[in-house]
Amino acid sequence: MGEWSFTRASRAAAWAFWSDLRNHMRLEPGVERIELDGPFATGTTGRTVAPGFTHEWRLSDVVPERRFAITGFTPDGAGALSFAWEFADGSGGTRMTQRIQATGRRSSTT
């Protein structure tokens, strides 16, 4: 889990940056593009494309200027990885918390 504070950014400005998925692409080396199949709203699907790999996901929880989550699934559908961002007013700015959660069965290789 990570937590950041933006001492000079309003919650609206922090939300505008992080809910624009083009900014995620700029921050993630190796990502060729991020595609969104509709509005930035709960239920909208998308994909992250990197050389030789495409990961399908959906926006699983969007509350404007408060929080959003992106949930992707393993190719067999047995597991999920969710990335969530929360935005709150802090002392003189915005506090953003990011959480990552993995669910599903654990597999081992032999």
Contact 24, 41 (CB under 8 A): no
Residue 94 in this model has a pLDDT that exceeds 70: yes
pLDDT of residue 110: 44
Residue 110, domain member (yes or no) = no
Residue 109, domain member (yes or no) = no
Residue 53's alpha-carbon distances to 28, 30, 56, 85, in angstroms, are: 14, 11, 10, 24
Domain count, the chain: 1
pLDDT of residue 74: 78
* Average model confidence (pLDDT) across the chain: 86
Tokens found for residue 109? 């290789």
Provide the residue range defining the domain that includes 45.
2-104
Residue 99, domain member (yes or no) = yes
Residue 51, domain member (yes or no) = yes
Q: What is the pLDDT of residues 14-34, one digit of tens each?
A: 899 999 988 888 888 889 999
| Residue 21 exposure: Cα atoms within 13 Å on the Cβ side | 23
Q: What is the pLDDT of residues 37-71, one digit of tens each?
A: 999 999 999 999 999 888 899 999 999 999 999 99
What's the CATH number where 19 sits? 3.30.530.20
Residue 98, domain member (yes or no) = yes
